Amino acid sequence: MTSIRRRTLGLVLLVFGISMLAIGLVSYRYASHEIEELYDASLAQNARLMEGLIQAPLPADQRAVMLASLESALLRAEASDKRLAGHRYESKLAFQIWQDDTLLLRSASAPEAPLTTLTEGYENASLEGHGWRVYALSNPERPLRVLVGEREDVRGELVALIALQTLLPELLGLPVLALLLWWAIGWGLNPLSRMAEQIRRRDPHNLQPLVMSPLPRELDTVVDALNRLLERIRALRVREKRFIADAAHELRTPLAVLDLHAQNALTAETPEDRSEALDKLRAGVARSTHLVTQLLTLARLDPDEEPRDATGSDLLVEVREALAKLSPLATDLGIELLLDADQAVDWQLQVEPGALDTLIQNLVSNALQHSPEGGTIRVTLSAGDDRATLCVDDQGPGIPAEERKRVIERFHRAGPGAGAGLGLSIVVRLLQRHGGRLALEDAPDGGLRAVAMLPRRKAHH
């Protein structure tokens, strides 16, 4: 893509050229009209001068001498050498003086036939292959008619000359104007160049906001957008570093335990001891795998971003499938899973693929972890005009009100039997991405009630 300077210069010159052309056309038409008026007035004036000259009160013999003298001068001009002619336009001007049908006097360039049959006024005529503008003046008191004509190419040459002289300074000044505009646009874009240079020289690890002063108003939005982007990148790097630190911290102990079980299996003296060590090793691997899965899920979920590729999902169907997956675990623990929902309600939500499954799995798994053997976990669905609500009630020990804000923090464990402390953090992240929220309350039958509220429509931040 071409530079902004070249695009702006090209656009300005194009606009200027079109404007100059339009002004030139208007000037040409105006000059042409005014010159036509001026020449028409000149024709009328010359005709009246000729009329006044011929009608002078002179004796007949003196009038005849005057006409003969005029005719001799005109014939001499016609027969003389072209180098002695008065002006090159002289042959393009003509006049005739008629009395009745008798030609009293004519110019050297005038034909012997009448220039026009018109008795009074202006007319455009064609004589000897040329266009003429003719003015006829008649005297009603005497049978006298004066015809004055001018070739139209005289006017055309004059109009073209005037138009050229008008446009020539602009045509000659166009290159100078282009250079001045090139410099002016470059000076105007200098803050953009300075900003680009500052970004080019910036340390890749420096994510602090750009500081430029003074800053043109047009670049203020660009700098603000860049600073917001830098802030998001900085927050992302902070989250990545925090994730790596948390993962290293949380995986250090499980890996050490796995190594201990592996050593016990290698040094076991009896098959029973080896089998017990391997069972513990396998259980440790399962716990570590679950921990890594939750860490990756938490790292993937950014609460500040909108859900990507959100599609329609049926909340009731998702809950049934998630409970079916967890039912073997619940059976092993001696816990009953119950679902309470109205099948006639429309449970469609706009969420990310897999989001509802992750949400339900974490809420129900957390309830299974804290429910006693023989207990019941009840999942209840309710719907309103603008949101759907998922409630999970367990019969565990519950969480004191003063501790409920802390349990949603990462790696906060609610008791000795708790997991890695990531389940509720993942739930909160998922709900935030979809414009929902999580509330922790006391269950009616004792234990904890987790209430997840999701909007009916995709959230816009």
How is 389-451 classified by DSSP, letter by letter? EEEEE--S----GGGTTTTTSTT--SSTT--SS-HHHHHHHHHHHTT-EEEEEE-TTSSEEEE
State the CATH number of the domain containing residue 86: 3.30.450
Give residue 184's identity as a one-letter amino acid code.
A
Q: Domain boundary at 266, 300, 334, which?
A: 300
pLDDT confidence of residue 407? 64
pTM as predicted: 0.45
pLDDT confidence of residue 459? 42
**22, 144: one domain:** yes
pLDDT along the chain (461 residues), means of 10: 72 82 79 81 86 76 74 62 54 80 80 84 84 86 84 77 72 80 80 79 80 73 85 79 66 74 85 85 76 66 63 87 85 89 87 82 84 89 88 86 67 46 72 84 85 72 39
pLDDT confidence of residue 461? 39
Task: Please report whether residue 186 resides in a domain.
Answer: no
Q: Domain boundary at 271, 300, 329, which?
A: 300
Cβ partners under 8 Å of residue 432, min gap 6? 303
Count of structural domains, the chain: 3
State the CATH number of the domain containing residue 392: 3.30.565.10
**92, 157: one domain:** yes
**318, 416: one domain:** yes
pLDDT confidence of residue 249? 58
- If one counts every other C-beta atom within 10 angstroms of the C-beta of residue 87, the result is 8
Q: Determine the structural domain holding residue 108 and report its residue range.
A: 4-161
**221, 265: one domain:** yes
Task: Please report whether residue 180 resides in a domain.
Answer: no
Task: Please report whether residue 204 resides in a domain.
Answer: no
**268, 153: one domain:** no
**261, 395: one domain:** no
Cα separation, 259 vs 200, in Å, equals 49
Q: Do 145 and 50 meet the contact criterion of CB atoms below 8 Å apart?
A: no
Cα separation, 440 vs 392, in Å, equals 10
Task: Please report whether residue 142 resides in a domain.
Answer: yes
Q: Domain boundary at 276, 300, 324, which?
A: 300
pLDDT confidence of residue 401? 77
**108, 247: one domain:** no
**376, 413: one domain:** yes
**13, 157: one domain:** yes
**290, 316: one domain:** no
**443, 370: one domain:** yes
pLDDT confidence of residue 406? 64
**265, 364: one domain:** no
pLDDT confidence of residue 25? 80
